[in-house]
Structures are given as structure tokens and as C-alpha cells.
Amino acid sequence: MFNLKVVLALMAAAIVALAAACGGDDDDGDGGGGTQEVVYNLPTPPSVLFYPTLVAEELGFFEEEGVSPELAPASEEVSATAFLDNGDADVSFADVDEIILARSQAGEHTVIFSPQHTNTAGIVVPEDSDIQDISGVAGQKVGLESEESTRFLDAMLETAGVPQDDVETAVVGTSGGLIAQLFEDGEIQAYVGNASDFVALGANEVALRNITPEDVGRIDGNPMAVLPDTLEEKREAIVGFLRAWTKGQYVGQVNPEVVEQIARERVPEEWRNEASGEAALDLAISNMEPDDPERIGDLRPDVWETGQDVLVSAGVLEEGQTIDVQEALDDSLIEEINDWDRAEVEQRAEEYAAGG
Amino acid sequence: MARKVLHALSPMRLARRLWPPLLFLAILVGLWELAIEVDYVSERILPHPKDVAVSFWELIRSDFVWDDIGATLWESVAGFVLGAALGLALAIPSGLSPVMRRMLGPYAVALQVTPRIAIAPLIIAWAGFGYSSKIWIAAIIAFFPVYVNTLTGILTVDEEAREMFRSLGASRWQTFQHLMVPGSLPVMFAGLKTAAGLSLVGAVVGEFISAERGLGVLVQQFASQLAMADAFAVILMLMFLGLLLYGVMEWLERTTVFWLHDDRLVARSRRRAARAEKKLARNGGVPPKPRPTLVGRR
């Protein structure tokens, strides 16, 4: 009928080959062609929301810095700091609370760059809702993007003095259609999620109002963390990566049309719904507007102190577990990262727009 | 052969075969459309079937979606092969040895009853963010049906046939090769068919958590952007991928376990008879020497 020994041998070979192929995605860090690889973790797949990497790749900024970037995306279910701990990423764009909690548990995660000086998470209600601020959600049902948002909601409630038990919650995910329907049916009265979800809803005629408390809204979104050993080992490559990033970020500030052109080319799936695509681009560019254009990605210790106070008051962090924010932040690379010719980058963007 | 294909494709025959599923599809689409028309379901959640069809057509004509299809297909197929190979590799010794069965059985069941979605983030944290983590998730999900079905197949081999093999003096290997393997193949293929579909589920679960490409990523992206027709079109693609994997397993089953399918059995007998006739003609009408018997080959 068939040679069973051959079949069994093939089966064994298949297991060994596949297991070997699946053994891990580590490599020696050499990106090939004389470039050094930098594995970076983001909370999304390639997206206009993190346009600097798209621009840097397209305009050759990574190449001229001798860096070969590799994206390691992960949703909220996987801790961004875990990617650093297990060596799956060299740098990780994590949440402020994740980094504070990791350090409070003896982690050595250090923040060296923070591209978004505004919170990318928040809480919204329908435009015509009676709820005017965060205290208004007492006695209401709040939809959450993920279980992880509970921590963020608790922190916001604490700032308004609303007991956590006074609010009912339900994890509803990120499907825009579902969130809109839940609001319409009165199943939820507020939603905690990402600004990108809010703008997609807003762009599709679901009018929302942001009621995120001001001090929480100021907390940085997605600051970049690294472990000291990795920084020491790959300092040059990480600085090169961030220099290319800041150039890409700068292009968004001076020539958003080029970013749109690149994003349409690189992530066409995000433009299937034109309104959502345009809203996401506007949001990304405004989120990444630097306080000082000469110090893109600068760190703001006062915002981190606020973030920590909010975590303590919400009971997420015990008083005795607080971290020394100054130790967690290292802005010594900011100058070096921003040391490049603005005019040259502007010209490169213009040439690209002109089809060069 | 050509005559058979033409016969199978004759309009009458096709119509007779296709009208029941097409009628059911028409009823389903009609109910779907009605649910939207009477506002039972919002268009925001359930787009019009026509819009889904248009999205499907536009997406398959675009360049980007094929990379995602390729990624999901690779993760599913590799996960299936790995899971099935592991399932077979552990089921065979378990079927042959009661000690192995007692040793592995509880852990295989424990793995099955553990919700795999709960350990998926851990697998991603361990195996990394590339294809390998998705392949492992798919493999872990695909493993159990193959393991349990193969084991069941081996354990339920006809006792009388086993006794006959023993009385003919067959070795353990001969009994395994000529009795247990053919006897367990039908049940094993049922497990493989289930595993093929489940490996796709595993790949998509992995993509939901961490992936750069893949149809699971696209579903999430489109859903969050309120591009619901596109999201449904991608779900349709996932369904076709599942059907493709199932179809391949079905074809493999019909080819391998031919004795369970009358048409395959008849076709095979005819081919063998034709080959024998050719051989006879080549030998000048002298029949070839008979093949050695089971006992003679010891």
C-alpha cells in the first residue's frame, strides 16, 4: 500500500525541521549589509499612527544611520516591557504605568525618548450625553477597550474621588461599529480606549466628547524604554534608530502631505475607509507635535510624577513601591538624537513629494 | 478520464449538485438583508451582503491582501503539520504501549482542557513576535484531535483481525503496518480534518495578539476603522482558507483511505486490473509469480 517506514521517517523529519524553524526569532543582531538591527516593539502593526518609522524607511533615514529596524508588534494583552525582559525587542514603546510598575518591581527599564507629549488613551461619552466630566460616570456603565484599561479607568476615577465600585465596566473591544451601536442602544454610557478609536468613530459621524481629566490627558503616550545593558551594547544603533525616527517625526510636522503619500503607499489597508485614514493621520501628527522642535522626544519628569501620583491614588501602586522618576528617565541622548540638519530633511521630503 | 470530467461538469449534473447549497445561501442572504432593512441589526455592525461582495472583489484585486493571506496560510499549514506530526508521534507509542498511554494521556487531556487563548500571550512572549509564535499556537490547538483520534483508531482495531494476524505468525511491526495503520486511518483522518480547521483558528488568535501581517490583523484593523464590509470580506477569505485546508485533507483521505469510498475503490481496482493485463500481455500470457505472503516475508 505505502512504505510506512518512509512515511514515519518523513514525519520525524517534518517535526525536527519545523521545530527548528520555530525555535525562536532571535538572531545575531546584524541587519546585513553593514547595518545593525534594532528590534522595536509597538502596540500596532505598521500604522500611520506611528508614521515616523514609515517615513524613515521610505526616505532612507534608517539606511543612512546604518540601522536595520525590525518591528515587533503586540496588542494590549502582552506587556510591552516583557518584550525587553525576554530579549525579544531592543527598545519598546510602552505605557507610562507599565514602566513605573516594572521599575517598582525591581525592573531596570529606562526611558530615553518620548515622542508623544499627550495621552493616547482616554475616556469619551456621546456628544449629547449628560455626563460632563469624569465624576459623571458614577452609577453608569463604562465600556473598556481591554481588561488593561481597568487600571487607567480606576486612576481617572480616583482623581475625581469616585469610588471604583460605583462604576460598572464591560470589556467591549475596539470594533468601531460595535462601540457606536453600544452607545446608541444605551448599553454603555462612556468608553475607555485609544484616541485612534475615538477619531475613527468621530470621522464616521459618531460624535463623541472627550472627558479625560486634564492632568491624566497630559501624561505621555508610548514613551520608549530600554534596558541599561541593551543600551550599553547597542548604543550607536539605538541612537541611529531614534535619529531616523525624529527625522520622520519632523517630516510630519513640516510636510504632512508627504506623510499621507507615504502612508497611502505603505499601509493601504488603513485607507480603505478614507475618513478613518485621514482622521488617524491628523491625530498622529498632532500627538507627535514636540514642545520644542529642537528636542523631539524630550522627557518631562513632572508628567511622570503626575502619572505615578495617579497610580498611587488609584491603589494600583502602593506608597512604598513608588519609584524615583529621575532615575527612570535618562535624557542624555536627546541632544545627540536631534543633531541633524532640519533643512536637509525638509528638502528630502520635498524631493519625495515631487517624485524624486 | 476526460469523459469522466466532462460527465461530472455537465450542466444538469452540476445543477443537481449545487441547487441545495445555493438555495440555502439565498435564504441566508435574504434573511441577512431583511434584518438590515427592518433595522433589526445596524448597518454599522452588519453591512449589506452586496457591500461585502464588492469589498471582497476589491480586496482580492489589491496587492496588499495577498501578503496577509500568505502569512495566515503559512502559519496555519506549518502549525497544522507540526501539531499533526506531534500528535501522531505521541499517539502511536501510546497506542502500542499501555505505559506510554498512562504516561502521556493525562497531559494531553490537560493541554486540551486548558483554554489555549489564555496561554497564547505567554506563547508569544516566549516564542517571539515572528511567525514561530503563531505556528506554535496553531500547533498546540491542532495537536489534540490528531492525538486522540489516532490513539482511538489504534485501540479499536478489530480484535478478531488481530487474532488472525497472531495466528499467522505476524511480527509486531507487520501487525502495526498491515493492520493497525490501515485500521486507524479513517479515524485518524477525521482528526486531521478537524485539526486543519483548528490550526487556522490558532493562527488567527496569534495574529490578534501580535502580528505584523495576516488576515487576523486585517479584521481588527478594518473593524476598528468602521470598515465593516472589508472586515466581513476578510472573514469570508478566512472561511475560504478553512475550506481549502479541509478540502486538501478530504482529498488526501479519499486517496489514502480509498477502501471506504466505492468510487475510489472501483477506480483503483480498474487501474490494477489494467496493469495486470498489460503485464500479462508483456509476459506472453504467463501470469507473474505471486507476491510473497505475510508469513513468507518473516
Measured between CA atoms, the residue of chain A closest to residue B209 is: A75
Answer with the one of A191, A217, A243 that is the final residue of a domain.
Answer: A217
Same domain, A236 and A275: yes
In a domain, A61, yes or no: yes
Answer with the one of A183, A217, A251 that is the final residue of a domain.
Answer: A217
List b or e across A193-210, with b for residues whose CB sees 16 or more CB atoms inside 10 angstroms: bbbbbbbbbbbbebebbe
* CB atoms A269 and B221 under 8 Å: yes
Contact call for residues A99 and A93 (beta carbons, < 8 A): no
CA distance A50 to A3: 55
Same domain, A91 and A205: no
Q: What cell does B274 get?
A: 489494467
* CB atoms A78 and B210 under 8 Å: yes
Q: Residue A94's domain is classified under what CATH number? A: 3.40.190.10
Pick among A7, A26, A40, A75 to test the B interface (most B CBs inside 10 A): A75
Q: What per-residue confidence (pLDDT) applies to A158?
A: 83
Domains of chain B: 54-260 (1.10.3720.10)
CA distance A292 to A335: 12
Q: What per-residue confidence (pLDDT) applies to A25?
A: 53
Q: Count how many domains chain A has.
A: 2
Cα torsion angle, A208, A213, A216, A219, sign: positive
Pick among A42, A49, A88 to test the B interface (most B CBs inside 10 A): A88
| Rg of chain A over all Cα atoms, to the nearest angstrom | 22
Same domain, A101 and A191: no
Same domain, A195 and A56: no
* CB atoms A78 and B230 under 8 Å: no
In a domain, A18, yes or no: no
Same domain, A255 and A338: yes
Closest residue by Cα to residue A243 from A71, A34, A67: A67
In a domain, A21, yes or no: no
In angstroms, the first-to-last Cα distance of chain A is 64
Interfacial B residues in 244-283 facing A (CB < 8 Å): 256
In a domain, A347, yes or no: yes
List b or e across B245-279, with b for residues whose CB sees 16 or more CB atoms inside 10 angstroms: bbeebeeebeebbbeeeeebeeeeeeeeeeeeeee
CA distance A130 to A118: 26
In a domain, A58, yes or no: yes
Same domain, A81 and A146: no
In a domain, A54, yes or no: yes
Interfacial B residues in 174-193 facing A (CB < 8 Å): 176-177, 181-182
Interfacial B residues in 127-156 facing A (CB < 8 Å): 127-133, 135-136, 139
In a domain, A2, yes or no: no
Tell me phi and psi for residue B127, to 5 degrees: -85, -10
Same domain, A109 and A231: yes
Q: What per-residue confidence (pLDDT) applies to B111?
A: 83
β-pair type (A35-42, A67-73): parallel
* CB atoms A270 and B221 under 8 Å: yes
Same domain, A235 and A202: no
Same domain, A225 and A347: yes
Q: What per-residue confidence (pLDDT) applies to B290?
A: 65
Answer with the one of A167, A198, A217 that is the final residue of a domain.
Answer: A217
Same domain, A227 and A198: no
Query: What is the full per-residue pLDDT of chain B (298 aa) written as tens digits?
Result: 556 666 666 778 888 888 888 899 999 999 999 999 888 888 888 899 999 999 999 999 998 899 999 999 999 999 999 999 999 999 998 988 889 889 888 888 888 888 877 888 888 877 877 888 899 999 999 999 999 999 999 998 888 888 899 898 888 888 888 888 888 899 999 999 999 999 999 999 999 888 889 999 999 999 888 899 999 999 999 999 999 999 999 999 988 888 777 777 788 788 888 888 888 888 777 766 666 555 544 4
For residue A187, what are the domain limits? 121-217
In a domain, A23, yes or no: no
Same domain, A249 and A334: yes
Q: What per-residue confidence (pLDDT) applies to B298?
A: 41
Residue-wise pLDDT tens digits, A227-285: 999 999 999 999 999 999 999 999 999 999 999 999 999 999 999 989 889 999 999 99
Same domain, A143 and A74: no
Query: What is the full per-residue pLDDT of chain A (356 aa) written as tens digits?
Result: 455 566 666 666 666 666 655 555 544 455 556 789 999 999 889 999 999 999 999 999 999 999 999 998 887 667 788 889 888 899 999 989 889 999 998 899 999 999 999 998 899 999 999 999 999 999 999 999 988 788 889 888 888 888 889 999 999 988 888 899 899 889 999 999 988 888 888 888 888 999 998 888 888 999 999 999 999 999 999 999 999 999 999 999 999 999 999 999 999 999 998 988 999 999 999 999 999 999 999 999 999 998 898 888 877 788 788 999 999 999 999 999 999 999 999 999 999 999 85
